[in-house]
A and B are shown apart, each in its own frame.
Chain A
Amino acid sequence: MVSSISFCDSKGKQLLSRKYRDDIPLTAIDNFATLLMKLEEESSVVPPCLTHNGIHYLFIQHNDLYIVALTTSLSTNASQVFTFLHKLVEVMSEYLKDVEEESIRDNFVIIYELLDEMMDYGIPQITETKMLKQYITQKSFKLVKAAKKKRNAARPPQALTNSVSWRPEGIKYKKNEAFLDIVESINMLMTQQGQVLRSEIIGEVKVRSRLSGMPDLKLGINDKGIFSKYLESTSSNSNSNDDNSNEVNSSKSSTPQPSTGQDEGSSRKTSNVELEDLKFHQCVRLSKFENEKIITFIPPDGNFELMSYRLTTPIKPLIWCDVNIHVHSKSRVEIHCRAKAQIKKKSIANNVEILIPVPDDADTPSFRYSHGSIKWVPEKNAILWKIRSFAGGKEYSMAAQLGLPSIDDNEKPKLKRPVQIKFQIPYFTTSGIQVRYLKVNEPKLQYKSYPWVRYITQSGDDYTIRLNG
């Protein structure tokens, strides 16, 4: 279990700490900076868990901060500690907006309060911001001895230790609404020739709940093709991935076929689609889902992520770029890029950004292009091509030329970094997932409610084209 938690600046010097147990000397954290520095000098592999003198330092980085948990026991649950540290940052950012050195220094009172409430004796306790905000508030409260002004005194909400620990009672809205956002992020790794090396869809169902009382919600999704496959026994599925890898391997054509979302979705139901893993917010009754395959829950108030899923079915690139880079050493580098939106004609990809790496020492760029805007981003050693709106089936191209210094250091400039692409496609999910219904039932209030659903597909954090070395 955790002995203390410290916030340190970018050099590892302590800003604030909270001690939970007595088994470490106060000076232990001072070693952290030196440890870190020594390690960084030796190699660039810096694992998030360091050990010195029998004390383990588990840390994460956030903005310009290190958040370090110290413990002496090898039997400390490391995954719990890291999850807690991330959660801590998440909660703090809801209180402080930006969690960074400056805001830590300015808000130590509230941070001490949070640390006190979120962890006791090194054991994580309460991390639901919605609940914490009920009794840890920025403003100070006066305690009044008599119970007269009871409402003012900060008290832990009753619900805190109930089985529904994420929702206080007595929430009221004039208009009862629930907003569902289905966001699918596509991660894809392609070769310059258009072969897809890896692709996955990471889906999230985000909910913004503005509902009164204690509503019980039931979510229906076109589960024919999705959930049933996941829940069926594995015998039929076990081969599927092998097949998939074959498919990917054989699709070596340099111009991948355009794919239309809806077709994809419907064909998926018959082909071997598999939702790799479903993850639910803690409000979802897991055993109910396990046994009856129904998603039911009492939502927290406000925004939260209801569920996430992942699909590793092979998909064709939605935005494809044919990039050609010619490096004429000692003089210049030439870049040709042809971008294509391989989505339905009706769909539009918004905010498309294509980041193409250029050599570190390149300069004096010149561009030729028909659409969007291009600029050179020297701090990233890349050029950025932005296209605000990119209709399905369209194809745009650009050419760029940058100068290289004439001094030759014998080595060909290397372009190890991949081309990165970002985009958003509204009203469309790649997997074909659809919400059938969202039933809201509040047994006491029996109000009318309005569910809203939005779909969006976007690039994940790893939608890249690997350039030939």
Chain B
Amino acid sequence: MPPLDKKIKKFLKDSVRIAPKISSKGELTELRTGLVSPYPQTRKDAIKKTIQQMTVGKDVSSLFPDVLKNIATNDVEQKKLVYLYVMNYAETHPELCILAVNTFVTDSEDPNPLIRCMAVRTMSMIRVDKILDYLETPLRRTLQDDNPYVRKTAVICVAKVFQLDKQLCLNLGVLTDLVSALEDPNPVVVANTIASLTEIYAMDSTVINLNDLIQSHVSKFLLALNECTEWARITILTVLSKYSAKDSIEAQDIIDRVTAHLQHVNPAVVLATVKVIIINLDLTKPQINDPVMKKLSSAMISIMSTPPEIQFIALKNIRIILEKYPELLTKETRIFFVKFNDPLYVKLEKIEILVRLVDASNIKQCTILLNELKEYTREFEPEFVSKAIQALSQLAIKYSKESFCNKVLDILLELLERQDTFKDDCCIAISNLLRHCPTSTQMVTQACGLLNTWVEPELILNRDEAKCNYVWLLGQYPDKFSSLEERILGFVENFRQEDPLTQTAVLATIVRLHTRLPGTILQTILELATKETIVIDIRDMAMMYWRCLSIPGGDELVQQLCNTAPPAIDNILDTFPPEILKKLIQELATISSITFRPQATNAKKYVRPETVVKGKKLDELKNIAKNEIVKNDEVLLDFGDDATEENNKNTTTLDDLDDLFNFGTVLPKESNSGTNLESDFNKLGINGGRQDTNTTSTSTTTQDLMDLF
């Protein structure tokens, strides 16, 4: 026992804090003084301040040596702060890092598991080769630690080291240790091990055989599932969803074992469970009234009372699942009714789900939804209203009865009379309805009656899609419009500014109506379309028409071509092509399931350039650091561009097709009509010089299909 006065002296010394002085030498000098102060509390304050500067983005790397002096401390909090600093700036001072190595190694043997963890966790984050050289012993030791808390950290460190220096990791042979950690008695360690293995596999699929490991450990995973933290459960469930069951009995067994997790309070656990079940349902082929289907429905509904971001993911996922199992959730439409305080992005998704969910054979349900959607069209958020308008037409066409379509038409017309803002959407929706019920003269008269009141439609309408539909209506029902010539002339005058869809529509409509219109309009449009447009397809189309019209008996030919009745549309809901759907099901709950873009199977492997910083001179290092950042940028840029561009292309062509024909299911129909068209052409004997262009590229065919209008 030290004497009292000594104790007091020590206490005073420990707690002395030197008030920061306003010094003329600047902040850094001041911090430096603090960091080397003889008083511990003052040093700690200075460290805190340094970290604070680092947090706000100032470069305090020049203090590295002084901060490092404080690493050997007994104060856990201070140690954490110094570690944090070292982790951030080690690359700029690789030479000095060696000073910290000793502390790291000592700390990895500390009796306190928290310190052991911290040491190995920090070491494996530092991209400096000297540190990595010393990592072997601590990493091995912690992998075999008595304390599961340490082991669960160590297994993740293996993935970190692998990312930093793959070769080193292989040389050390820690991967074998990692694989054997799958046998660990502690479920949390098992979960982290599998997470770590998954990461390594994503970086390089040649070093381990993940699939085999999963196959051989399924029973282990199923056992661990009931005994670990919620996050570990997600990891394990995710791995289980990668497992392919041998037969329906095993699949059923897996389903039975995981089903209880549908009742977990954590929505991510629920979604992960849903995924496992959905994937295994492929083998068990359950009946609609199988209890598991019921449980799936109610689990997904339960996510509707979670935070909006998670609802958003669930809604996107439900859209995917519904395409595979449309019978799920059909009784539950009301849950997806929009709440007035939902964020807009949730509202829009809910509408998407509602129209897909509604049972087309249930008049009551359809009517309720109709009234609900009608209510939505009175809201004030424009995006929401236009989605509701779209949904109304989708619902009408799904339910299919003419009287129902008529009701929807009434709603749309009423809306148009009340408001000016949604002409675009209404115009598209109305055209769709008319395409669905081409025989209903009453609807045609009503709709065109209102559209006829619009003056200068080319200026009222904004979207390409809407204009194109309007022009199509002009061509389809020319008798219903007054001053037809004037209307068309308006579009012709604007021709140069229009987008391709409208241009095509204008061209096709004028050719179609050329007998009713003065010849000059035809002449003008053919000239415009051949000379003034940059879209090759439109030019080709115009050329073709021009030739047809100029050959003897051409008028008849063109009439024949133009007056083919367009096929009635019976579904305007987008669906996924089967192979995309299959992939999306595999990727439920991930980001790709929100964007509806499955990861390309042969996507660029996770490539990282050599990143470990070797001990070099300071200037060189700075350059390396700079280059690193630039390089990183480039890699990321490349990756992003490749992936998105490709996908964009696909989707835009699909979208275009969609817009043009208002088909929901694009693929089969496209090919059908495509071939029809070709044979038409053959019949008509105009397969002259143009045919090559017509049939080779899809987009050309697409445009040509417009002829059908």
A408 within 8 A of B: no
Q: How far is the CB of B126 from the nearest CB of chain A, in Å?
A: 11
Contact of B80 among A113, A123, A242, A462 (CB under 8 A): A113
Q: A22-B127, A154-B76, A417-B340 are in contact. Are A108 and B51 (CB under 8 A)?
A: yes
Q: A161-B188, A279-B263 known; A245 and B368 CB under 8 Å?
A: yes
CB distance from A193 to the nearest CB of B (A): 13
Q: Does A163 contact B (CB under 8 A)?
A: yes
Assuming the contacts A43-B383, A121-B199, asked whether A277 and B302 have C-beta atoms less than 8 A apart, the reply is yes
In the complex, the chain B residue whose C-beta lies closest to that of A110 is: B77
Q: Select which of B152, B261, B263, B309 is within 8 A of A161 by beta carbon.
A: B152
Which residues of B sit under 8 angstroms from A64, Cβ to Cβ? none
Tell me the bound Cα distance from A165 to B224 in angstroms: 14
- A249–B367 Cα distance when bound, in Å, is 11
On whether the beta carbons of A120 and B153 are closer than 8 Å, the reply is yes
Kindly state the separation between the CA atoms of A439 and B21 in the bound complex, as whole angstroms.
63
Interface presence of A220 (CB below 8 A): no
A83 touches which one: B84, B310, B345 (CB < 8 A)? B310
Is the pair B312, A48 in contact by a Cβ cutoff of 8 Å? Answer: yes
Would A282 and B636 count as touching, CB distance under 8 A? no
> Whose C-beta in chain A lies nearest to the C-beta of B234?
A80
Given known A109-B51, A237-B294, A282-B230, contact A60–B260 (CB-CB < 8 A): no
Kindly report which residue of chain B lies nearest to residue A121, judged by CB atoms: B156
Mark out the residues of chain B between 270 and 324 whose CB falls within 8 Å of any chain A CB in the assembled complex: 271-272, 289-291, 293-294, 298-299, 301-302, 305, 307-310, 312-314
The distance from the CB of B393 to the nearest CB of chain A, in whole angstroms, is: 20
Candidate in A27, A46, A85, A310 with the most chain B CB atoms within 10 angstroms: A310
A156 with B149: CB separation less than 8 A:
yes
Q: Are A286 and B226 in contact (CB under 8 A)?
A: yes
Beta-carbon contacts under 8 Å, A262-321 to B: 276-282, 285-287, 289-290, 305, 308, 310, 312
B96: CB under 8 A from chain A?
no
Chain B residues closer than 8 Å to A245, beta-carbon distance: 334, 364-365, 368
Q: Which of A141-149, A173-181, A251-259 contacts B (4 or more CB under 8 A)?
A: A141-149
- Whether the pair B591, A144 counts as a contact (CB closer than 8 A) is no
Q: In the complex, are the beta carbons of A246 and B364 less than 8 A apart?
A: yes
Q: Does the CB pair A144–B260 fall under 8 Å? A: no
Residues of A within 8 A of B632 (CB): 23-25
> Shortest distance in angstroms between B585's beta carbon and chain A's nearest beta carbon?
14
Please state if A462 and B339 are interface contacts (CB–CB under 8 Å): yes
User: Would you call B75 and A142 a contact (CB within 8 A)?
Assistant: yes
A238 touches B331 (CB 8 A): yes
CA distance in complex: A84, B188 (Å): 17
Segment with Cβ contacts to B, from A68-76, A92-100, A372-380, A422-430: A68-76
| Also in contact, A60 and B307, with CB within 8 A (given A75-B599, A121-B199, A462-B341) | yes
Report the count of interface residues on A (CB-CB < 8 A).
112
A161 to B149, CA, bound (A): 6
For the complex, give the distance between the alpha carbons of A411 and B301 in Å: 40
Say which one of A50-58, A388-396, A397-405, A441-449 lies at the interface with B: A50-58
**Using Cβ atoms and an 8 Å threshold, which residues of chain A touch B183?**
none
Complex CA–CA separation, A246 to B121 (angstroms): 61
- Encoded as 1 (CB less than 8 Å from any A CB) or 0, chain B from 193 to 229 comes to 0011001001000000000000000000000001111
Task: For residue B539, give the distance in angstroms from its CB to the closest CB of chain A.
Answer: 32
Q: How far is the CA of A126 from the CA of B152 in the complex (A)?
A: 11
Taking chain B's interface residues, is the majority helix, strand, or loop, or is none over half, making it mixed? helix
Asked whether B615 is an interface residue with its Cβ less than 8 Å from the other chain, the reply is no
In the complex, which residues 445-469 of chain A have their Cβ closer than 8 Å to any Cβ of chain B? 461-462, 464, 466, 469
Selected contact of A305 from candidates B149, B265, B272, B641, CB within 8 Å: B265
Which residues of A have CB within 8 Å of B383? 43-45
Question: Shortest Cβ distance from B195 into chain A, in angstroms?
Answer: 5
Once the chains bind, are B305 and A73 in contact (CB under 8 Å)? Answer: no
Q: Answer whether residue B578 sits at the interface, using C-beta atoms and an 8 A cutoff.
A: no
Residue A369 lies at the interface, judged by CB distance under 8 Å to chain B: no
Which of A71, A109, A242, A310 is packed against the most chain B CB atoms within 10 Å?
A109
B residues in contact with A120, CB < 8 Å: 121, 153, 156, 192
Question: Given that A140-B77, A238-B331, A279-B264 are known contacts, is A73 also in contact with B202, CB under 8 Å in the complex?
Answer: yes
Residues in chain B near residue A21, CB distance under 8 A: 160, 163
B113 to chain A, nearest CB (A): 6
Q: Does B547 contact A (CB under 8 A)?
A: no
The chain A residue with its CB closest to the CB of B195 is A123
Within 8 Å of chain B (Cβ to Cβ): is A1? yes
Min CB distance B4 to A, Å, is 19
Report whether B332 and A416 are in contact in the complex, using a CB–CB cutoff of 8 Å. no
Asked if A108 and B264 make an inter-chain contact with CB atoms under 8 angstroms apart, the answer reads: no
From B159, B235, B379, B629, A121 is in contact (CB under 8 Å) with B159
Q: Does A63 contact B (CB under 8 A)?
A: no
Residues 145-190 of B contacting A (Cβ, < 8 Å):
147-149, 152-153, 156, 159-160, 163-164, 186-189
B112 to A: closest C-beta gap in Å: 6
- The closest CB in chain B to the CB of A138 belongs to B77
Is A189 a contact partner of B76 (Cβ separation < 8 A)?
no
Partner of A145 from the list B74, B80, B196 (CB cut-off 8 Å) is: B74
Q: A345 interface residue, CB < 8 Å from B?
A: no
Residue of B76, B332, B339 ringed by the most chain A CB atoms within 10 A: B76
With contacts A45-B345, A77-B272, A113-B77 taken as known, whether A165 is within 8 angstroms of B188 at the C-beta atoms is: yes
Query: Does residue B7 face the partner (Cβ distance < 8 Å to A)?
Result: no
Contacts of B81 in A (CB 8 A): 109, 112
Do residues A56 and B229 form an inter-chain contact, with CB atoms below 8 A?
no
B137 is an interface residue with CB less than 8 A from chain A? no
Contacts of B121-141 to chain A: CB distance below 8 A: 121, 127
Residues 67-92 (chain B) with a chain A CB within 8 angstroms = 74-78, 80-81, 84
Given the complex of chains A and B, what is the CA–CA distance between A83 and B230 in angstroms?
Answer: 11
Q: How far is the CA of A462 from the CA of B334 in the complex (A)?
A: 14
Contact B368 A72 (CB under 8 A): no
Residue contact B259 to A290, C-beta cutoff 8 Å: yes
A36 within 8 A of partner (CB): no
Closest to B259 in A: A290
CA distance A234 to B293 in the complex (A): 9
Q: Which residues of B contact A235 (CB under 8 A)?
A: 289
Given A80-B589, A112-B80, A416-B379, is A286 in contact with B261 using a C-beta cutoff of 8 Å? Answer: yes
Complex CA–CA separation, A465 to B590 (angstroms): 37
- Residues in A whose Cβ lies below 8 Å from that of B163: 21-22
Query: What are 29 A-to-B residue pairs whose CB atoms are below 8 Å?
Result: A44-B383, A45-B383, A47-B345, A54-B641, A55-B636, A72-B636, A72-B639, A78-B589, A78-B591, A80-B234, A80-B272, A108-B52, A116-B84, A120-B153, A123-B231, A125-B152, A141-B75, A143-B75, A144-B74, A154-B114, A156-B113, A156-B114, A234-B289, A234-B290, A278-B263, A289-B260, A416-B378, A464-B340, A469-B378
Residues of B that sit less than 8 Å from A by CB: 44, 48, 51-52, 55, 57, 74-78, 80-81, 84, 111-115, 117, 121, 127, 147-149, 152-153, 156, 159-160, 163-164, 186-189, 192, 195-196, 199, 202, 226-231, 234-235, 238, 259-268, 271-272, 289-291, 293-294, 298-299, 301-302, 305, 307-310, 312-314, 331-332, 334-335, 337, 339-341, 344-345, 348, 362, 364-365, 368, 372, 375, 378-383, 587, 589-595, 597, 599, 606, 608, 611, 629, 632-633, 636-637, 639-641, 643-644
- With A23-B608, A161-B152, A276-B302 known, 16 other A-B pairs at CB within 8 A are A55-B640, A74-B591, A75-B599, A77-B268, A86-B310, A121-B156, A125-B229, A140-B78, A141-B76, A160-B149, A237-B294, A277-B298, A277-B302, A279-B264, A282-B266, A286-B261
Interface residues of A, Cβ cutoff 8 Å to B? 1, 14-17, 21-27, 43-49, 51-56, 58, 60, 71-80, 82-86, 108-109, 112-113, 116, 120-121, 123-128, 135, 140-145, 147, 153-156, 160-161, 163, 165, 187, 189, 197-198, 200, 202, 233-235, 237-238, 241-242, 245-246, 249, 276-282, 285-287, 289-290, 305, 308, 310, 312, 414, 416-418, 461-462, 464, 466, 469
The 5 closest A-B pairs by CB, nearest first: A54-B640, A286-B260, A277-B302, A163-B227, A469-B378
